[in-house]
Amino acid sequence: MEKNAAPVKTTSLRRRSYWSKAGNIVSFLLLILLTAVVMLPIWWIFRSSLMTNAELYIYPPNFFPSRWLFSNYAETLQNFPFWQYFGNTMLIIVPSVLFGTLTATLCGYAFARLRFKGKSFWFTLCIGSMLLPNMVTLIPLYIMWTRGFGLGNTYWPLILPFLCGGGAFNIFLIRQFIRTIPRELDEAATIDGAGHMRILFQIIVPAIKPAMIVVALFIFVLLWNDLLQQTVYINSPDKFTIAIGLSMFKSGLKADWVRIMCATCLAFLPGIVIYLIGQKSFVEGIVMSGMKN
């Protein structure tokens, strides 16, 4: 124990690394526990969708269905026209994501690279609008779209806003990302005689792909999560989106929980599929582009 000074120092260092290793293991176990907790609701919803109504009300409940009744889905689909709702939702989401990403890129490029009068004024207005709650403007926009333009019960009021820059945050994100690309690249292209638009599409766009994917995802999630605006603008059942269709289905059935859980799982499905396809670029893209300031 009490020898000379040098070994003491190494033991204390070793002890510290021992503790940090123990800490890492405890943290990892905590992470596994939290993973289970976070996934439990999704599992429970899924497992409930595969049971008979009788099994659903057994106490204590089964964690696994005794028989996996995928036929529940076929029955649910008879009253819950999921594919129609899905198609309707895509009619809104696909053009919005395309237009939103494109116009956000154009605006972000102008703010990042081009010089013009009133730039800081418009940029401040743009950033300021991030603080503006969008629910506040619902009523005037509703009056404008339905009474001004006669677009009630169509998807246009939901799509057209994305022709206008796709939201301030997305413009800001693209701008921040473009600013990390060395200007020398565009200057070289300018010397070679490329115009601003060619620089944007041939040099900038390939370099900011991760940020554009993130913007596309954000617009997707925004529309995917929205219920209020869809409820306000869409009235006829044949035009319902997944979100409206599901909440109508739920309030119509009251307590047929097996069917409701089937419909809920169906509504989960497209998001999960899209996420699995693009998972890497989504999370990595956000981590990469996130907060480059």
Partner 1 sequence: MSKAMSKKKSIKTSPGAKKEARVAYLCLIPAFIGLTVLTYGPLLAVFIIGFFKWKGLSTPHFIGLQNYIRLFTEDPYFLDSIKVTVWFSILAVVGTMVYSLIIAMLLNMKIPARGFFRAVFYLPYILPAAAVYIGWSWLYETNFGLFNYLLNQIGIKNVMFLSDSSLAVPSLAIIAIWLSGNIIVIFLAGLQNVPGVYHEAAQIDGANGFQRFFHVTLPCMTPIIFYNLLMCLITNLQVVTPALALTNGGPGNSTMFLTYLMYRYAFKSNQLGYASAISFVIFLLIAAFTTVLFATSKSWIFYEGGND
Q: Which positions from 81 through 100 interact with partner 1, judged by CB under 8 A?
A: none
CB 36 within 8 A of CB 262: no
For every residue of 145-185, DSSP letters joined together read: IIIIS--TTSSHHHHGGGGTTS-HHHHHHHHHHHHTS-HHH
Q: Is 122 in the site for partner 1 (CB under 8 A)?
A: yes
232, two tokens = 């306000």
C-beta of 208: minimal distance to partner 1 in Å? 15
Q: Is 116 in the site for partner 1 (CB under 8 A)?
A: yes
Q: Which is nearer to partner 1, 19 or 68 (CB)?
A: 19
Distance (Å, whole) CA 51 – CA 32: 27
CB 92 within 8 A of CB 157: no
Instruction: Tell me the window of 31-39, 69-77, 174-182, 204-212 that interacts with partner 1 (CB under 8 A).
Output: 31-39
Distance (Å, whole) CA 214 – CA 53: 41
Instruction: Tell me the window of 3-11, 66-74, 141-149, 205-213 that interacts with partner 1 (CB under 8 A).
Output: 141-149
- Of 201, 197, 180, the closest CA to residue 114 belongs to 197
Cα four-point dihedral sign 7, 9, 11, 13 = negative
Q: Is 61 in the site for partner 1 (CB under 8 A)?
A: yes
Q: Taking CB under 8 A as the criterion, which residues in 243-272 touch partner 1?
A: 243, 246-247, 250, 257, 260-261, 264, 267-268, 271-272
C-beta of 70: minimal distance to partner 1 in Å? 18
Q: Is 188 in the site for partner 1 (CB under 8 A)?
A: no
Give the residue, chosen from 136, 182, 184, 236, that forms a contact with partner 1 under the rule CB under 8 A: 136
- Of 218, 212, 217, the closest CA to residue 200 belongs to 212
- The site map against partner 1 for 198-237 (x = CB under 8 A) is -------------------x--xx--xx-xx--xx-----
